[in-house]
Copies of this chain bind each other. A is one copy, B any other.
């Protein structure tokens, strides 16, 4: 543990004194304003350097009105979404220019209110709200004195701006890939049907099949977001429909379960049956055997987009609104292969 070495941090006045100028001049010099003599500037910069001067962002925030600070209010307990989003946002803001308060409400509305108050009292310039599912979540309301963007979980108020991955398109993309590989007898094993994500993915898949004049060879099986469910459902599926040649899974976890079951039953993936997942959860997808083809949202660019929208709201006072569906992407690995 480290503590104060000098009695107290150097202030602008200290720098000014040492450079034998006024605080005002020192301020201008340090902030690169033009109306200051070159010689003076060097002197001030030298003084600042020697004193290890760090401008006090708190004081600056007081006058400037903006604090160069944003709040990230999350209820994403395990951080699969919030961390990439945070990194994307940091990126877009430019590292170090803006700092991010990360607050975890843990799915508790009261705690969320507490954190919100705290963020507002700290005069954050904007807030990004990150939910842990794509179902609409309660709006923070319109009475917030800072721009707000909802990420992953959209707000239930259309006046808010929300960014959420396009799961319907994701479902389409998955099916499109399977069809491209020459598969025709496709089944679906998905997650908890109380999740919009589970339903949207099936919907997209059904639409894409329909466009090709096809449909699922078995009714979609929705259950829970776990490997266990994937295994159990796959066993049933392979038993009842031995002729399926592809399984579209609602998540990578489920797909891992399906791969397991297929191996137990002696079904060759990807030759006999292709398996595709969803999420691109790399630890899971990359370590599967065979490595898992999957569709996934790019959370970093989602974070970047959220940050850019906040920026826009800082500058223009244009309040955008509505739900924006962000693109998803196909990651081809070895669990799908063209029929040979």
Contact = CB atoms under 8 A, between A and B. Distances in A.
A31 interface: no
A227 interface: yes
Interface stretch (A37-45, A55-63, A200-208, A269-277): A55-63
Contacts of A62: 56, 58-59, 62
Q: Interface size for chain A: under 10, 10 to 19, 20 to 34, or 35 or more residues?
A: 35 or more
Contact of A96 (B3, B67, B115): B115
Q: How many copies does the complex hold?
A: 2
Contact of A160 (B1, B83, B122, B283): B1
Interface string A1-21: 111111011000000000000
User: A-B pairs with the 6 shortest C-beta distances?
Assistant: A227-B287, A96-B114, A1-B161, A102-B102, A79-B79, A79-B83
8 contacts: A2-B147, A3-B145, A8-B145, A54-B117, A58-B122, A72-B102, A96-B111, A100-B101
Given A1-B319, A161-B1, A287-B227, A99 B119 contact: yes
A217 interface: no
B253 A287 contact: yes
A205 to B, nearest CB: 24
Interface of A: 1-6, 8-9, 52, 54-59, 61-62, 67, 69, 72, 78-79, 82-83, 86-87, 90, 95-96, 99-104, 106, 111, 114-115, 117-123, 140-149, 159-161, 226-228, 231, 253, 256-257, 260, 263-264, 283, 287, 289, 309, 313, 317, 319-321
Given A1-B320, A54-B121, A55-B121, 12 more contacts: A2-B146, A3-B145, A4-B145, A5-B143, A8-B145, A52-B143, A58-B61, A69-B122, A79-B79, A102-B102, A231-B289, A253-B283
Contacts of A289: 227-228, 231, 260
B58 A2 contact: no
Nearest to A60: B121
Given A313-B3, A317-B3, A99 B103 contact: yes
